[in-house]
Amino acid sequence: MIDSVRRYYDENAEREWERLFRDPYHMLEFIVTMHFLEKYLPKEGLILDAGGGPGRYTIELAKKGYDFVLLDLSQKCLEIAAREIEKAGVKRRVKRIVEGSVTDLSEFDDESFDAVLCLGPLSHLIEREQREIAVQELVRVAKKGAPIFASVINLYGVFRTVLQELPHEFIDPSHEEMFSKGIHRVSWHKHEPGKGFTDAYFFHPNELRELFEKNGVETIEMATCEGLSSHLQEETNQIYEDKRKWKFWLNILLRTCNDPCILGLGEHLLYVGRKI
């Protein structure tokens, strides 16, 4: 499973670097995540970006004066990260770039970091045991009282994506496991090698919260990263053209993205907790 995930991100490393800025709609994930990072991060410190890919958040926060360790499975993503860190002029802030998995952080001592980011990787662990191990590791390396940020792919958001973008596949038997267990397997695309998403697990919000709380984390806040714009790509991109409307809509979106009524409907879900 890990090999297929690594291969996917090696093959799509440049695409992953561009993903959060491909259009205004996709920028929302970055904007909302940064909003909560800036709200809850300590004023300074050493942060672990676990599964940080090509380093978008590492670079953005390093510019703000934070020190970082960046870890990811994909060698190609880390090569891009090294390139972009150099270009951004924040190399001195990035103390280490490590190839590795969130399920094994033995590289780091207990309570090494003032904050921990895990923005995406939990959704590539399709076995419950692996998700448990990953969260235990993330909590272990965080200092007591440190904030922990995790984002995942939303289960019901995926249902809506399939309805919206893949209606011809809606009742395909290969999707049975996704609709019943939240699991997507790359093997479904065996007739179309190189196409489709890699192994993935999609979360219900309550499940994500409980996973962290049972491992010594106090929940602070949760939000859906696309907020009220979820699945409204064309409309969101259109409103971006009018800067006054865009500013107004962002204000509404940031005020409401943590409303429990919509947590489960977005494409991505952000969890913010604090190690007890």
Rounded CA gap, 196 and 35, in Å? 30
Whole-model pTM above 0.85? yes
Q: Which two tokens stand for residue 71?
A: 């870890």
The residue extents of the domains of the chain are 2-155+198-275
The percent of residues in the chain predicted with pLDDT above 90, rounded, is 86
pLDDT band (50, 70, 90) for residue 168: confident
Residue 160: pLDDT over 80: yes
CB 106 within 8 A of CB 76: no
If phi > 0 it is left, if psi is from -120 to 50 it is alpha, else beta; for residue 44 that is beta
CATH classification of 2-155+198-275 is 3.30.70.100, yes or no?
Answer: no
- Quick: pLDDT tens for 119-157: 999 999 999 999 999 999 999 999 999 999 999 999 999
- Quick: pLDDT tens for 177-230: 989 999 988 776 555 545 578 899 999 999 999 999 999 999 999 999 999 999
Of 213, 220, 207, the C-alpha closest to 264 is 207
Q: What is the pLDDT of residue 1?
A: 66
For residue 192, the one-letter residue type is E
Q: What is the pLDDT of residue 190?
A: 56
